[in-house]
Amino acid sequence: MISKVLIANRGEIALRIQRACREMGIKTVAVHSTADADAMHVRLADEAVCIGPPSARDSYLNVAAILSAATITGADAIHPGYGFLSENAEFAETVEEHGLAFIGPTAEHIRTMGDKITAKTTMRALGVPLVPGSDGALPDLQAAREVAEKVGYPVLIKAAAGGGGRGMKVAQTADDIEEAWSVARAEARAAFGNDEVYLEKYMNRPRHIELQVLGDAHGNVVHFGERDCSLQRRHQKLLEEAGSPALTDAEREEIGRTATEALSRMGYRNAGTLEFLYQDGQFCFIEMNTRLQVEHPVTEMVCNVDLVREQIRIASGEPLGYTQADVKMSGHAIECRINAEDPETFMPSPGTIKVFHAPGGLGVRMDSAIYVGYRIPPYYDSMIAKLIVHAPTRAEAIARMQRALDECVVDGVKTVIPLHQKILADPSFQKGDYTIHWLENFVAAQQAGK
Protein backbone atom coordinates (compact mmCIF):
# COMPACT_ATOMS: atom_id res chain seq x y z
CA MET A 1 0.00 0.00 0.00
CA ILE A 2 1.21 3.50 -0.86
CA SER A 3 1.64 5.67 2.23
CA LYS A 4 3.62 8.71 1.05
CA VAL A 5 3.48 10.25 -2.43
CA LEU A 6 6.00 12.69 -3.84
CA ILE A 7 4.26 14.99 -6.33
CA ALA A 8 6.69 15.91 -9.09
CA ASN A 9 4.77 18.96 -10.24
CA ARG A 10 3.52 22.42 -9.25
CA GLY A 11 0.45 24.66 -9.37
CA GLU A 12 -3.13 23.50 -9.44
CA ILE A 13 -2.33 19.92 -10.44
CA ALA A 14 0.04 19.46 -7.48
CA LEU A 15 -2.82 20.61 -5.20
CA ARG A 16 -5.30 18.37 -7.00
CA ILE A 17 -3.12 15.34 -6.30
CA GLN A 18 -2.53 16.40 -2.68
CA ARG A 19 -6.28 16.60 -2.14
CA ALA A 20 -6.81 13.01 -3.29
CA CYS A 21 -3.89 11.80 -1.14
CA ARG A 22 -5.16 13.57 1.95
CA GLU A 23 -8.62 12.05 1.59
CA MET A 24 -6.99 8.63 1.26
CA GLY A 25 -4.85 9.12 4.39
CA ILE A 26 -1.65 9.29 2.31
CA LYS A 27 1.16 11.73 3.21
CA THR A 28 2.43 14.12 0.55
CA VAL A 29 5.83 15.52 -0.37
CA ALA A 30 5.97 18.67 -2.49
CA VAL A 31 9.00 19.55 -4.58
CA HIS A 32 9.60 23.08 -5.74
CA SER A 33 12.00 25.45 -7.45
CA THR A 34 13.37 28.49 -5.65
CA ALA A 35 10.79 30.58 -7.58
CA ASP A 36 7.98 28.54 -6.01
CA ALA A 37 9.06 28.66 -2.35
CA ASP A 38 5.81 30.48 -1.45
CA ALA A 39 3.55 28.42 -3.69
CA MET A 40 0.33 26.92 -2.36
CA HIS A 41 1.39 23.36 -3.22
CA VAL A 42 4.40 23.84 -0.95
CA ARG A 43 2.35 25.33 1.88
CA LEU A 44 -0.25 22.58 1.89
CA ALA A 45 2.04 19.55 1.58
CA ASP A 46 3.11 17.51 4.60
CA GLU A 47 6.74 18.00 3.60
CA ALA A 48 8.48 20.08 0.95
CA VAL A 49 11.90 19.88 -0.68
CA CYS A 50 13.56 22.55 -2.82
CA ILE A 51 14.96 20.85 -5.92
CA GLY A 52 16.62 23.66 -7.84
CA PRO A 53 16.57 27.10 -9.45
CA PRO A 54 13.58 28.57 -11.35
CA SER A 55 14.33 27.08 -14.76
CA ALA A 56 12.20 23.94 -15.14
CA ARG A 57 15.15 22.12 -16.68
CA ASP A 58 17.05 22.47 -13.41
CA SER A 59 14.11 21.81 -11.06
CA TYR A 60 10.84 20.16 -12.19
CA LEU A 61 12.71 18.24 -14.90
CA ASN A 62 15.69 17.40 -12.69
CA VAL A 63 15.34 13.63 -12.24
CA ALA A 64 18.30 13.23 -9.86
CA ALA A 65 17.03 15.99 -7.54
CA ILE A 66 13.49 14.58 -7.54
CA LEU A 67 14.67 11.06 -6.74
CA SER A 68 16.92 12.36 -3.96
CA ALA A 69 13.93 14.22 -2.51
CA ALA A 70 11.89 11.00 -2.63
CA THR A 71 14.68 9.06 -0.90
CA ILE A 72 15.31 11.52 1.91
CA THR A 73 11.61 11.92 2.68
CA GLY A 74 10.87 8.17 2.48
CA ALA A 75 8.20 8.54 -0.22
CA ASP A 76 7.08 5.23 -1.72
CA ALA A 77 5.45 6.55 -4.90
CA ILE A 78 5.76 9.45 -7.35
CA HIS A 79 2.87 11.15 -9.14
CA PRO A 80 4.12 13.13 -12.14
CA GLY A 81 0.92 15.17 -12.81
CA TYR A 82 0.79 16.48 -16.39
CA GLY A 83 3.56 18.18 -18.41
CA PHE A 84 7.14 18.09 -17.04
CA LEU A 85 8.21 14.43 -16.59
CA SER A 86 4.77 12.87 -16.92
CA GLU A 87 5.43 11.33 -20.34
CA ASN A 88 9.12 10.63 -19.91
CA ALA A 89 9.65 6.87 -20.14
CA GLU A 90 13.19 7.00 -18.69
CA PHE A 91 11.84 8.81 -15.66
CA ALA A 92 9.13 6.19 -15.08
CA GLU A 93 11.76 3.46 -15.46
CA THR A 94 14.20 5.16 -13.06
CA VAL A 95 11.48 5.67 -10.45
CA GLU A 96 10.66 1.96 -10.52
CA GLU A 97 14.35 0.97 -10.48
CA HIS A 98 14.61 2.92 -7.23
CA GLY A 99 11.87 0.74 -5.75
CA LEU A 100 9.17 3.41 -5.89
CA ALA A 101 5.77 3.12 -7.55
CA PHE A 102 5.26 5.33 -10.59
CA ILE A 103 1.65 6.51 -10.57
CA GLY A 104 1.09 6.09 -14.29
CA PRO A 105 1.52 3.52 -17.07
CA THR A 106 4.53 1.29 -17.69
CA ALA A 107 7.64 2.90 -19.20
CA GLU A 108 7.12 0.67 -22.24
CA HIS A 109 3.65 2.06 -22.92
CA ILE A 110 4.80 5.65 -22.36
CA ARG A 111 7.57 5.05 -24.91
CA THR A 112 5.29 3.42 -27.48
CA MET A 113 2.72 6.22 -27.32
CA GLY A 114 5.31 9.02 -26.99
CA ASP A 115 6.43 8.37 -30.54
CA LYS A 116 3.40 9.31 -32.60
CA ILE A 117 4.36 7.06 -35.49
CA THR A 118 4.70 3.98 -33.27
CA ALA A 119 1.50 5.00 -31.51
CA LYS A 120 -0.40 5.07 -34.78
CA THR A 121 1.03 1.77 -36.01
CA THR A 122 0.19 0.14 -32.68
CA MET A 123 -3.36 1.47 -32.68
CA ARG A 124 -3.96 0.48 -36.28
CA ALA A 125 -2.84 -3.08 -35.51
CA LEU A 126 -5.35 -3.08 -32.63
CA GLY A 127 -8.23 -2.08 -34.90
CA VAL A 128 -8.45 1.63 -34.03
CA PRO A 129 -9.27 3.86 -37.06
CA LEU A 130 -6.64 6.47 -38.03
CA VAL A 131 -6.46 9.73 -40.02
CA PRO A 132 -5.45 8.73 -43.58
CA GLY A 133 -1.77 9.44 -44.21
CA SER A 134 1.73 8.00 -44.48
CA ASP A 135 2.38 4.53 -43.08
CA GLY A 136 5.24 5.76 -40.97
CA ALA A 137 8.08 8.26 -41.09
CA LEU A 138 8.64 9.96 -44.45
CA PRO A 139 12.12 9.24 -45.81
CA ASP A 140 12.22 12.32 -48.08
CA LEU A 141 10.26 15.12 -49.71
CA GLN A 142 9.44 12.95 -52.72
CA ALA A 143 7.73 10.39 -50.46
CA ALA A 144 5.76 13.24 -48.85
CA ARG A 145 4.59 14.39 -52.29
CA GLU A 146 3.49 10.89 -53.22
CA VAL A 147 1.46 10.31 -50.05
CA ALA A 148 -0.06 13.80 -50.35
CA GLU A 149 -1.22 13.06 -53.91
CA LYS A 150 -2.73 9.79 -52.72
CA VAL A 151 -4.68 11.16 -49.73
CA GLY A 152 -5.42 14.52 -51.40
CA TYR A 153 -4.56 18.09 -50.34
CA PRO A 154 -4.61 19.82 -47.90
CA VAL A 155 -2.18 17.75 -45.83
CA LEU A 156 -0.40 18.19 -42.53
CA ILE A 157 3.27 17.38 -41.93
CA LYS A 158 3.68 16.38 -38.26
CA ALA A 159 6.66 15.65 -36.01
CA ALA A 160 6.94 12.06 -34.73
CA ALA A 161 8.08 13.45 -31.38
CA GLY A 162 5.47 16.25 -31.49
CA GLY A 163 3.64 17.87 -28.62
CA GLY A 164 2.05 21.21 -27.81
CA GLY A 165 1.22 21.76 -31.47
CA ARG A 166 4.88 22.23 -32.42
CA GLY A 167 6.44 20.73 -35.54
CA MET A 168 3.12 20.73 -37.41
CA LYS A 169 2.65 22.45 -40.79
CA VAL A 170 -0.19 22.49 -43.31
CA ALA A 171 0.35 22.30 -47.06
CA GLN A 172 -2.77 23.54 -48.84
CA THR A 173 -1.56 22.52 -52.30
CA ALA A 174 1.41 20.83 -53.98
CA ASP A 175 3.05 24.26 -54.19
CA ASP A 176 3.32 24.48 -50.39
CA ILE A 177 4.60 21.04 -49.59
CA GLU A 178 8.30 21.74 -49.86
CA GLU A 179 8.04 24.64 -47.42
CA ALA A 180 5.78 22.74 -44.99
CA TRP A 181 8.22 19.82 -45.11
CA SER A 182 11.27 21.91 -44.27
CA VAL A 183 9.60 24.15 -41.68
CA ALA A 184 8.02 21.21 -39.81
CA ARG A 185 11.36 19.35 -39.76
CA ALA A 186 13.30 22.41 -38.61
CA GLU A 187 10.76 23.06 -35.83
CA ALA A 188 10.80 19.41 -34.78
CA ARG A 189 14.60 19.37 -34.69
CA ALA A 190 14.72 22.55 -32.59
CA ALA A 191 11.93 21.52 -30.18
CA PHE A 192 12.51 17.78 -29.81
CA GLY A 193 15.99 17.05 -31.20
CA ASN A 194 14.34 14.65 -33.65
CA ASP A 195 13.32 15.72 -37.14
CA GLU A 196 11.39 12.61 -38.10
CA VAL A 197 8.05 13.61 -39.64
CA TYR A 198 4.94 11.90 -41.02
CA LEU A 199 1.98 13.08 -43.04
CA GLU A 200 -1.76 13.17 -42.42
CA LYS A 201 -4.68 14.38 -44.43
CA TYR A 202 -5.61 17.79 -43.04
CA MET A 203 -9.20 17.50 -41.92
CA ASN A 204 -11.13 20.69 -42.72
CA ARG A 205 -13.87 20.67 -40.07
CA PRO A 206 -13.24 18.04 -37.40
CA ARG A 207 -13.95 18.14 -33.71
CA HIS A 208 -11.30 17.10 -31.21
CA ILE A 209 -12.91 14.35 -29.16
CA GLU A 210 -10.95 12.37 -26.61
CA LEU A 211 -11.79 9.33 -24.55
CA GLN A 212 -10.76 8.88 -20.89
CA VAL A 213 -9.69 5.36 -19.97
CA LEU A 214 -8.41 3.60 -16.87
CA GLY A 215 -6.80 0.18 -16.81
CA ASP A 216 -5.66 -1.82 -13.80
CA ALA A 217 -2.75 -4.25 -13.43
CA HIS A 218 -5.16 -7.19 -13.76
CA GLY A 219 -6.25 -6.62 -17.37
CA ASN A 220 -9.47 -4.65 -16.70
CA VAL A 221 -10.00 -1.52 -18.82
CA VAL A 222 -12.99 0.82 -18.68
CA HIS A 223 -13.69 4.18 -20.32
CA PHE A 224 -15.37 7.22 -18.81
CA GLY A 225 -16.86 8.72 -21.94
CA GLU A 226 -15.55 11.56 -24.02
CA ARG A 227 -14.49 15.16 -23.71
CA ASP A 228 -14.92 17.63 -26.53
CA CYS A 229 -11.80 19.80 -26.65
CA SER A 230 -12.37 21.42 -30.03
CA LEU A 231 -12.06 24.95 -28.69
CA GLN A 232 -8.35 25.51 -29.26
CA ARG A 233 -6.09 28.38 -30.15
CA ARG A 234 -2.75 27.47 -31.68
CA HIS A 235 -3.53 23.85 -30.84
CA GLN A 236 -3.88 24.76 -27.15
CA LYS A 237 -7.19 23.86 -25.54
CA LEU A 238 -9.12 26.67 -23.84
CA LEU A 239 -12.58 25.33 -22.97
CA GLU A 240 -13.60 21.67 -22.69
CA GLU A 241 -16.91 19.86 -22.29
CA ALA A 242 -18.11 16.39 -21.26
CA GLY A 243 -19.94 14.97 -23.11
CA SER A 244 -19.52 16.24 -26.59
CA PRO A 245 -22.54 18.08 -28.00
CA ALA A 246 -21.93 16.16 -31.26
CA LEU A 247 -21.98 12.51 -30.21
CA THR A 248 -24.86 10.12 -30.00
CA ASP A 249 -24.99 7.45 -27.29
CA ALA A 250 -24.45 4.79 -29.95
CA GLU A 251 -21.30 6.51 -31.27
CA ARG A 252 -19.95 6.87 -27.74
CA GLU A 253 -20.53 3.22 -27.06
CA GLU A 254 -18.92 2.13 -30.27
CA ILE A 255 -15.73 4.18 -29.96
CA GLY A 256 -15.59 3.26 -26.28
CA ARG A 257 -15.73 -0.42 -27.11
CA THR A 258 -13.05 -0.14 -29.82
CA ALA A 259 -10.74 1.79 -27.49
CA THR A 260 -11.14 -0.36 -24.40
CA GLU A 261 -10.67 -3.56 -26.42
CA ALA A 262 -7.47 -2.15 -27.93
CA LEU A 263 -6.10 -1.05 -24.57
CA SER A 264 -6.94 -4.26 -22.81
CA ARG A 265 -5.13 -6.19 -25.54
CA MET A 266 -2.13 -3.95 -24.89
CA GLY A 267 -2.40 -4.58 -21.15
CA TYR A 268 -2.60 -0.84 -20.55
CA ARG A 269 -2.39 0.21 -16.92
CA ASN A 270 -3.45 3.46 -15.18
CA ALA A 271 -4.99 6.57 -16.76
CA GLY A 272 -4.79 7.37 -20.45
CA THR A 273 -6.54 9.45 -23.07
CA LEU A 274 -7.08 8.55 -26.69
CA GLU A 275 -7.41 11.62 -28.88
CA PHE A 276 -9.48 11.52 -32.06
CA LEU A 277 -10.51 13.89 -34.78
CA TYR A 278 -14.20 13.36 -35.44
CA GLN A 279 -15.86 14.40 -38.69
CA ASP A 280 -18.96 13.14 -40.55
CA GLY A 281 -19.54 10.39 -38.00
CA GLN A 282 -15.97 9.04 -38.35
CA PHE A 283 -13.38 8.84 -35.56
CA CYS A 284 -9.70 9.12 -36.56
CA PHE A 285 -7.10 8.45 -33.86
CA ILE A 286 -4.35 11.11 -33.65
CA GLU A 287 -2.49 10.37 -30.44
CA MET A 288 -2.62 8.92 -26.95
CA ASN A 289 -1.65 10.77 -23.80
CA THR A 290 -0.31 8.40 -21.17
CA ARG A 291 -1.09 10.60 -18.18
CA LEU A 292 -3.74 12.61 -16.39
CA GLN A 293 -4.98 15.50 -18.58
CA VAL A 294 -5.54 19.13 -17.59
CA GLU A 295 -9.22 18.73 -18.49
CA HIS A 296 -9.82 15.55 -16.45
CA PRO A 297 -12.26 17.32 -14.04
CA VAL A 298 -15.10 17.49 -16.59
CA THR A 299 -15.03 13.70 -16.75
CA GLU A 300 -14.90 13.46 -12.96
CA MET A 301 -18.01 15.61 -12.70
CA VAL A 302 -20.16 13.71 -15.19
CA CYS A 303 -18.98 10.24 -14.12
CA ASN A 304 -18.81 10.97 -10.39
CA VAL A 305 -15.29 9.52 -10.15
CA ASP A 306 -12.04 10.74 -8.57
CA LEU A 307 -9.54 9.90 -11.29
CA VAL A 308 -6.49 10.66 -9.15
CA ARG A 309 -7.73 8.37 -6.42
CA GLU A 310 -8.23 5.68 -9.06
CA GLN A 311 -4.69 6.25 -10.36
CA ILE A 312 -3.29 5.77 -6.85
CA ARG A 313 -5.37 2.65 -6.21
CA ILE A 314 -4.22 1.17 -9.52
CA ALA A 315 -0.57 1.96 -8.75
CA SER A 316 -1.04 0.13 -5.42
CA GLY A 317 -2.06 -2.96 -7.39
CA GLU A 318 -5.75 -2.83 -6.54
CA PRO A 319 -8.24 -4.01 -9.17
CA LEU A 320 -10.68 -1.42 -10.56
CA GLY A 321 -13.52 -3.25 -8.81
CA TYR A 322 -16.17 -2.15 -11.33
CA THR A 323 -17.02 -2.79 -14.96
CA GLN A 324 -18.07 -0.67 -17.92
CA ALA A 325 -21.72 -1.18 -17.02
CA ASP A 326 -21.11 0.53 -13.65
CA VAL A 327 -19.83 3.74 -15.28
CA LYS A 328 -22.71 6.17 -15.74
CA MET A 329 -22.51 9.64 -17.26
CA SER A 330 -24.90 12.13 -15.78
CA GLY A 331 -25.52 15.75 -16.80
CA HIS A 332 -23.03 18.01 -18.53
CA ALA A 333 -19.75 19.60 -17.41
CA ILE A 334 -17.72 22.50 -18.81
CA GLU A 335 -14.20 23.64 -17.91
CA CYS A 336 -12.78 27.10 -18.63
CA ARG A 337 -9.01 27.40 -18.40
CA ILE A 338 -8.19 30.70 -16.78
CA ASN A 339 -4.83 31.84 -18.11
CA ALA A 340 -2.99 34.94 -16.92
CA GLU A 341 -2.95 36.42 -20.42
CA ASP A 342 -4.32 39.44 -22.18
CA PRO A 343 -7.75 38.29 -23.46
CA GLU A 344 -7.18 39.95 -26.85
CA THR A 345 -3.47 39.61 -27.61
CA PHE A 346 -2.81 36.49 -25.49
CA MET A 347 0.42 38.02 -24.19
CA PRO A 348 1.34 36.42 -20.84
CA SER A 349 0.55 38.67 -17.89
CA PRO A 350 2.66 37.60 -14.90
CA GLY A 351 2.39 39.68 -11.74
CA THR A 352 1.02 39.70 -8.21
CA ILE A 353 -2.57 38.71 -7.41
CA LYS A 354 -4.10 41.70 -5.56
CA VAL A 355 -7.69 40.52 -5.21
CA PHE A 356 -9.03 37.02 -5.66
CA HIS A 357 -12.55 35.80 -5.17
CA ALA A 358 -13.37 32.25 -6.27
CA PRO A 359 -16.92 31.54 -7.41
CA GLY A 360 -18.99 28.93 -5.58
CA GLY A 361 -22.46 27.49 -5.29
CA LEU A 362 -24.12 24.34 -6.55
CA GLY A 363 -22.16 22.47 -9.20
CA VAL A 364 -19.16 24.83 -9.23
CA ARG A 365 -15.56 23.67 -8.78
CA MET A 366 -12.46 25.85 -8.86
CA ASP A 367 -9.08 24.10 -9.19
CA SER A 368 -6.44 26.72 -8.57
CA ALA A 369 -3.31 27.36 -6.55
CA ILE A 370 -3.45 31.17 -6.48
CA TYR A 371 -4.09 33.36 -3.44
CA VAL A 372 -4.01 37.08 -2.61
CA GLY A 373 -0.40 38.26 -2.59
CA TYR A 374 0.78 35.35 -4.77
CA ARG A 375 3.29 36.42 -7.40
CA ILE A 376 2.84 34.44 -10.62
CA PRO A 377 6.35 33.51 -11.69
CA PRO A 378 7.20 34.18 -15.34
CA TYR A 379 8.96 30.83 -15.78
CA TYR A 380 6.06 28.43 -16.19
CA ASP A 381 2.71 27.93 -17.83
CA SER A 382 0.26 30.84 -17.72
CA MET A 383 -2.74 28.79 -16.54
CA ILE A 384 -3.66 29.98 -13.03
CA ALA A 385 -7.02 28.28 -12.50
CA LYS A 386 -9.57 25.93 -13.97
CA LEU A 387 -13.22 26.70 -13.40
CA ILE A 388 -15.47 23.69 -13.79
CA VAL A 389 -19.26 23.51 -13.63
CA HIS A 390 -21.67 20.60 -13.68
CA ALA A 391 -25.43 20.79 -14.33
CA PRO A 392 -28.21 18.47 -15.51
CA THR A 393 -28.18 19.77 -19.11
CA ARG A 394 -25.72 21.57 -21.39
CA ALA A 395 -27.87 24.72 -21.43
CA GLU A 396 -27.90 24.83 -17.64
CA ALA A 397 -24.14 24.20 -17.53
CA ILE A 398 -23.59 27.19 -19.84
CA ALA A 399 -25.80 29.41 -17.65
CA ARG A 400 -23.99 28.18 -14.55
CA MET A 401 -20.57 28.88 -16.09
CA GLN A 402 -21.68 32.37 -17.11
CA ARG A 403 -22.76 33.23 -13.57
CA ALA A 404 -19.65 31.60 -12.05
CA LEU A 405 -17.37 33.64 -14.34
CA ASP A 406 -19.34 36.75 -13.35
CA GLU A 407 -18.62 36.01 -9.69
CA CYS A 408 -14.93 35.32 -10.24
CA VAL A 409 -12.62 38.21 -9.38
CA VAL A 410 -8.91 38.14 -10.20
CA ASP A 411 -7.16 41.47 -9.90
CA GLY A 412 -3.50 42.30 -10.45
CA VAL A 413 -3.03 40.34 -13.66
CA LYS A 414 -5.01 40.11 -16.88
CA THR A 415 -6.94 36.92 -17.53
CA VAL A 416 -8.89 35.35 -20.39
CA ILE A 417 -12.18 35.50 -18.41
CA PRO A 418 -13.66 38.19 -20.74
CA LEU A 419 -12.98 35.92 -23.75
CA HIS A 420 -14.71 32.98 -22.06
CA GLN A 421 -17.74 35.17 -21.43
CA LYS A 422 -17.92 36.10 -25.11
CA ILE A 423 -17.60 32.46 -26.19
CA LEU A 424 -20.36 31.31 -23.82
CA ALA A 425 -22.70 34.04 -25.09
CA ASP A 426 -22.15 33.15 -28.75
CA PRO A 427 -25.18 31.53 -30.47
CA SER A 428 -23.18 28.94 -32.42
CA PHE A 429 -21.27 27.88 -29.29
CA GLN A 430 -24.60 27.63 -27.49
CA LYS A 431 -25.90 25.35 -30.23
CA GLY A 432 -22.79 23.20 -29.86
CA ASP A 433 -22.04 23.91 -33.48
CA TYR A 434 -18.23 24.20 -33.67
CA THR A 435 -15.05 22.54 -34.97
CA ILE A 436 -11.35 22.84 -34.07
CA HIS A 437 -11.17 25.98 -36.25
CA TRP A 438 -14.05 27.78 -34.55
CA LEU A 439 -12.08 29.57 -31.82
CA GLU A 440 -9.37 30.97 -34.12
CA ASN A 441 -12.09 32.39 -36.40
CA PHE A 442 -14.01 33.73 -33.40
CA VAL A 443 -10.92 35.50 -32.03
CA ALA A 444 -10.08 36.92 -35.48
CA ALA A 445 -13.66 38.23 -35.84
CA GLN A 446 -13.47 39.87 -32.39
CA GLN A 447 -10.21 41.56 -33.35
CA ALA A 448 -11.58 42.71 -36.70
CA GLY A 449 -14.69 44.12 -35.00
CA LYS A 450 -12.58 46.39 -32.75
- Find the radius of gyration of the CA atoms of the chain: 21
* Binding of residue 436 to ligand ADP (CB under 6 A): yes
Which residue lies nearer to ligand ADP by CB, 154 or 418?
Answer: 154
8 A C-beta contact, residue 390 and residue 331? yes
* Cβ(400)–Cβ(391) below 8 Å: yes
Query: Of the listed 291, 313, 365, 400, which one is catalytic?
Result: 291
Distance CA 226, CA 241 (A): 9
Q: How far is the CB of 378 from ligand ADP (least distance, A)?
A: 23
| One residue of 164, 219, 319, 378 binding ligand ADP per CB under 6 A | 164
Does 253 contact ligand ADP by CB under 6 A? no
With contacts defined by CB under 6 A, name the span among 2-10, 84-92, 157-165, 378-386 that binds ligand ADP: 157-165
Least separation, in Å, of the C-beta of 272 and ligand ADP? Answer: 14
Q: Is the dihedral of CA 125, 166, 16, 210 positive or negative?
A: negative
Per CB under 6 A, which region of 121-129, 155-163, 249-257, 422-430 contacts ligand ADP?
155-163
Asked if residue 404 binds ligand ADP (CB under 6 A), the reply is no
- Distance from chain centroid for Cα 292: 7
> Cβ(242)–Cβ(227) under 8 Å?
yes
Smallest Cα–Cα separation from 154: which of 124, 129, 175? 175
**Minimum gap (Å) between residue 277 Cβ and ligand ADP:** 6
CB of 289 to ligand ADP, least distance (A): 8
**Interface of this chain with ligand ADP, residues 256 to 285, rule: CB under 6 A:** 275, 277
139 alpha-carbon distance from chain centroid: 30
Least distance (Å) between residue 30 CB and ligand ADP: 28
x/- map, 93-132, ligand ADP, by CB under 6 A: --------------------------------------x-
Using CB under 6 A as the binding rule, whether residue 187 contacts ligand ADP is answered as no
Q: What share of the chain is helix, strand, coil (3-state, %, to 5)?
A: 40, 30, 35
10 Å CB burial of residue 143 (0-12, 13-18, 19+) is middle
Q: How far apart are CA 419 and CA 424, in angstroms?
A: 9
CA distance 302 to 18: 22
Contact range with ligand ADP by CB under 6 A, out of 8-16, 201-209, 352-360, 423-431 = 201-209
Measured from the CB atom, is 417 or 436 closer to ligand ADP?
A: 436
Q: What is the 3-state secondary structure (H, E, C) of 263-295?
A: HHHHCCCEEEEEEEEEECCEEEEEEEECCCCCC
Active site residue 291: yes
Closer to ligand ADP by Cβ: residue 160 or 391: 160
Name the site residues for ligand ADP (rule: CB under 6 A). Answer: 131, 156, 162-165, 200-203, 206, 208, 232, 235, 275, 277, 286-287, 436
Catalytic sites, residue numbers: 291
